[in-house]
């Protein structure tokens, strides 16, 4: 017998799309890591001696893929770092604003950073996973939470 949450998950096509999208992302990540490991292995072999033609061809094929994967990984890390810094700075500036110690420059900085920090938090909240976060909420509860979130903004 399925719980009401599990039944809702089976009936919600969005949950299935989300699961497939997540599986695809995990597969791409694993493929990138495997390619990076293979490139490192082939480069270590190249340092010890000449590579075979097949190994050279494999290395030439994998290097661009690994560079592209690493570039995306670095970009994602930079986005995350920038969001964390913006959110921390917004919190700091809002604390100063609460104390009435905000200068005009800081007020302008707060106005510029607030949308960026909100966007980062929203995206982070949407993509966060972990124990208990993967269950699908019944539609009524889900819509109530959306309504409550909009009312809070």
pLDDT at position 134, please? 46
Provide the 10 A C-beta neighbour count for residue 28: 12
Average pLDDT estimate for 127-133: 53
pLDDT tens digits for range 82-123: 888 888 999 899 888 888 888 889 889 989 988 888 888 887
Indicate the pTM of the whole model: 0.58
pLDDT tens digits for range 24-67: 988 888 999 999 999 999 999 999 999 999 999 999 999 999 99
For residue 133, pLDDT beyond 60: no
In terms of average pLDDT, the best of 8-12, 20-24, 63-67, 121-125 is: 63-67
């Amino acid at each position: 017998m399925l719980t009401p949450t599990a039944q809702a998950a089976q009936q919600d096509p969005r949950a299935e799309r989300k699961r497939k999208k997540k599986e695809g992302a995990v597969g791409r990540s694993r493929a990138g890591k495997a390619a990076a490991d293979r490139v490192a292995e082939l480069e270590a072999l190249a340092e010890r001696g000449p590579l075979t033609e097949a190994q050279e061809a494999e290395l030439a094929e994998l290097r661009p893929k690994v560079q592209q994967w690493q570039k995306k990984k670095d970009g994602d890390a930079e986005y995350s770092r920038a969001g964390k810094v913006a959110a921390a700075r917004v919190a700091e500036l809002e604390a100063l604003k609460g104390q009435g110690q905000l200068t005009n420059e800081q007020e302008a900085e707060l106005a510029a950073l607030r949308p960026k920090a909100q966007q980062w938090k929203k995206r982070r909240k949407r993509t966060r996973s972990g124990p208990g976060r993967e269950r699908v909420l019944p539609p009524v509860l889900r819509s109530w939470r959306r309504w409550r979130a909009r009312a809070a903004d």
